[in-house]
Amino acid sequence: MPQLQRKRKITHDSLQPKKRVVLTHAQKRQLCLDSQKTPRLTQQELAAIYK
């Protein structure tokens, strides 16, 4: 069991940048409105808008 905890800690302490962005309620609402206007937005386009 201690080995498992060490492995988790090593991966947790890695210096990789955070990949996820948390949107506010207003941003989520705007995202829904934008997706109704242009329903074919790709993940890359969304990332560029809400980065």
The residue among 48 and 14 whose pLDDT is bigger is 48
pLDDT of 50: 83
The pLDDT value recorded for residue 24 is 94
Q: Evaluate whether residue 49 is within a structural domain.
A: yes
Question: pLDDT, tens digit, for every residue of 3-47?
Answer: 556 666 665 556 667 778 889 999 999 999 988 998 888 889 888
pTM metric for this prediction:
0.53
Res 2: pLDDT: 58
Residue 44 domain boundaries: 20-51
Res 19: pLDDT: 77
What is the count of structural domains for the chain? 1
**Domain presence at residue 7:** no
Phi and psi at 41, nearest 5°, equal -70, 135
- Cα 40 to Cα 51: distance, rounded to the nearest angstrom: 19
